[in-house]
Amino acid sequence: MIASSLANAGSLQVQGVRLWAAPDSTRVVFDVSGPVEHRLFSLKSPDRLVVDLPNAVIDEAVKNSLTKGGVVKTLRSGPRNKSDLRLVLDLKGPVKPKSFVLKPNKQYGHRLVIDLFDPESAQESVPKKVQNDADSPKLRDLVIAIDAGHGGEDPGARGKHGTREKDVVMAIAKRLAKLIEKEPGMRPVMVRTGDYYIGLRKRIEVARKNRADLFISIHADAFRDNRVQGSSVYVISRRGASSEMARWLAARENAADLVGGVSLDDKDDLLAEVLLDLAQTATVEASTEVADNVLAEMRRLGKVHKKQVQHAGFVVLKSPDIPSLLVETAFISNPSEEKRLKNPAHQQKVAQAIMNGVRGYFTANPPPGTLVAKTDDPRRHVIRRGDTLSHIAQRYGVSMRSLRTMNKLNNDRLLVGKVLTIPAKGG
């Protein structure tokens, strides 16, 4: 065993080791003193993962600092070929490993990252069969996927007083989940449930696996000028949508995924492109509408950084058939906004604002087969500050006269909080 990294000052030094356990994977991060080459392979009976590092050493104290978790039981080490280092992760069961190296950033130096996936979950794909009314005649809940940004060894942005983005967005996400749980006909799905990192496309996969009706990613922005403040809401950009369509078309032969309930793998190029374009166009339109609602609610909460919904190519917004939005709740780099983001009362207000926007969208656009679309439930609109009768009529595609008649209004004055019943379109 190598007792001290000082035994070979010219060697690559393993300076630290950290572990993050997720429900279906475990990430082990080795902090190293410089660029690192590595080779890894698995052994059975018992299950182990072997990592060979050329011309490298590790301190006993560093090795023993690993906190076991997930599928990892212990970390052992020993010399190999006199100058090389062999690391052995003793495991609780078989894994599907994946490794990569990262260059230094503001927080960390060179790193070797090893992800240990559960073999069964790694092979899982989105079910090939999507429930419809014929398969499941019972009305279902709307599924809202909530994605707390960053996590684990990726803390996201940091405030002046050390507040980490991953912590405040998780707090807001949990509060939003509780609100959705209380909402009749809705069910939340947390994309990450603890302090661990999930790849960006994996976040989309979690939403698709749970057949989400909406995907909301929650973040806290940062900028070099700490005076910048305000919230923003993003949906996918045209360029981002186009590149994602090309990606899906190129991979459709091997894809088990359905787009809008339709498989693309047996369609010719033109038909597949048309079907995907139709699904994606509808998704972008829905994303924009719900984002408009959420931004309007955020505007009532405080200052917004951009007055209109913004468009960007963020990976988490690229699902072709799940309406998706990313909410930048505030600038954590702004000291006053950092203070508010840490405040539980403000976190609750942010979660409520998002909830109000989501509720307003689905009240106006209830998906068929869901509890919120029951035929005996008329559409409702909760009057908010700034609403006018003409705006509400235009939004729902009805006449002002039918709104007055349905709700027995003597004039066009509206009271904030009052609930209006929306007549059928064309009325």
CATH number at residue 82: 2.60.40.3500
The CATH number covering residue 399 comes to 3.10.350.10
Q: Is 314 inside a domain boundary?
A: yes
Domain holding 35, by residue range, is: 5-122
Instruction: Judge whether 371 lies within some domain.
Output: no
Q: Is the entire prediction scored with pTM above 0.85?
A: no
Q: What is the pLDDT of residue 132?
A: 41
User: Is 128 among the domain residues?
Assistant: no
Q: Using CB atoms within 10 A of its CB, is residue 204 exposed (0-12), middle (13-18) or buried (19+)?
A: buried
Same domain, 266 and 293: yes
The answer to whether 155 touches 220, Cβ cutoff 8 Å, is no
Distance, in Å, from the CA atom of 68 to the CA atom of 179, rounded to the nearest integer, reads 34
The pair of structure tokens assigned to 95 is 């894994």
Total domains in the fold of the chain: 3
Q: Are residues 37 and 179 in the same domain?
A: no
| Together in a domain, 60 and 173 | no
231 and 323 share a domain? Answer: yes
Domain C-terminal end among 54, 89, 122: 122
Domain check: are 411 and 346 in the same one?
Answer: no
On whether both 107 and 198 belong to a single domain, the answer is no
Mean pLDDT, consecutive 10-residue stretches, the chain (427 aa), reads 44 91 88 91 92 91 87 90 90 90 85 87 44 54 94 90 94 95 91 90 89 93 88 79 53 47 50 55 83 91 85 78 89 93 95 92 83 65 79 80 88 81 71
Are the C-beta atoms of residues 234 and 314 closer than 8 Å to each other? Answer: yes
The total of other beta-carbon atoms located within 10 Å of residue 182's CB is 8
Q: Which tokens belong to 197?
A: 């990192």
Give yes or no: residues 198 and 344 share one domain.
yes
What whole-number distance in Å separates Cα of residue 361 and Cα of residue 363? 5
Q: Which of 122, 150, 169 is the last residue of a domain?
A: 122
**Domain match, 117 and 266 both:** no
Secondary-structure breakdown of the chain: helix, strand, coil percentages, each rounded to the nearest 5: 35, 30, 40
Q: Are residues 415 and 329 in the same domain?
A: no
Residues 282 and 259 in one domain: yes
Are 244 and 356 in the same domain? yes
CA 16 to chain centre: 29
In the three-class reduction of DSSP (H, G, I as helix; E, B as strand; rest coil), residue 324 is classed as strand
Query: Does residue 280 contact residue 206 with C-beta atoms inside 8 Å?
Result: no
Residue 2 corresponds to which tokens in the numbers above?
């190598």
